[in-house]
Structure 1
């Protein structure tokens, strides 16, 4: 079905959120065997994103510390320095850092966890605490 305002197939050109685009770019970098160009990432994602959009996303990921870049002539090559879990953890820390009452936010988060997630968190905290004692 065509979008009457733009004459486009609305399902093909739906607007994706920043987080979704970041995850797609990060996933494409993790698939690469070596550092790759932004053009490679753009092609890997099907070419429907503008080159400048890919550069913007890569630059945001660089600022978050989840990708690295190296000079390659007049441009850069990019490498994943993290995975989707690392990106999600960064987002969670950013939200937490923006709150005045960290303890209340953490308490609310923990009380909303499923029993299984709570068990996983307890195990992770115990393992981290045990590792610090060594």
Structure 2
């Protein structure tokens, strides 16, 4: 999975945060609070995200309503899986990753592993 470009990420961030479908007009209006972004540019990028399978859309009147096809967490996990896939030594790459995250994140990882394996904390 390819990492999102800047505008792709800004669009997806809004849709993930809102947790609902939205039109390009709604997205543009929100993006324009930060800096001017053309409607046609957002329309094009939303169409590209749809083509990549990251957004689904449904026609409402003359406009499309867009929503993510996967959660932010699912997208992030796919990026992590792809990044891990380029390593010849996945175990070492995982060890380096775990060594770079905070103790709180390490504990969250332990809890996630326990929930997947059904193990109880010692």
| RMSD of aligned alpha carbons | 3.2
1:90 aligns with 2:66: no
TM-score by length of structure 2 reads 0.64
Aligned partner of 2:89 in structure 1 is: 101
1:60 to 24, 49, 61: 49
TM-score, with structure 1 as normaliser: 0.60
Q: Are positions 1:77 and 2:65 aligned together? A: yes
Contact 1:29 / 1:36 at 8 angstroms: preserved in 2? yes
Q: Which residue of 2 aligns with 1:13?
A: none
Higher RCO (Cα < 8 Å, 6 or more apart): 2
Count of residue pairs the alignment pairs up? 113
Distance 1:31 1:109 in 2: 27
- Do the aligned residues in 1 keep the contact of 2:56 with 2:68 (CA within 8 Å)? yes
Rounded Cα–Cα distance in structure 2 between residues aligned with 1:100 and 1:79: 36
Q: Is the 8 Å Cα contact of residues 64 and 90 (structure 1) preserved in structure 2?
A: no
Q: Which runs of 5+ in 1 are unaligned?
A: 1-17
C-alpha distance in 1 between matches for 2:63 and 2:87: 38
Q: In structure 2, do the counterparts of structure 1 residues 119 and 23 end up closer, same or farther at CA, with 3 Å as the change threshold? A: same
- Is 1:38 equivalent to 2:24 in the alignment? yes
Choose 1 or 2 for highest CA Rg: 1
* Residue 83 to residue 103, structure 1, CA distance change in 2 (3 Å): same
Structure 1 runs, 4 residues or longer, greater than 6 Å off: none
Task: Name stretches of at least 5 consecutive residues in structure 2 with no aligned partner.
Answer: none
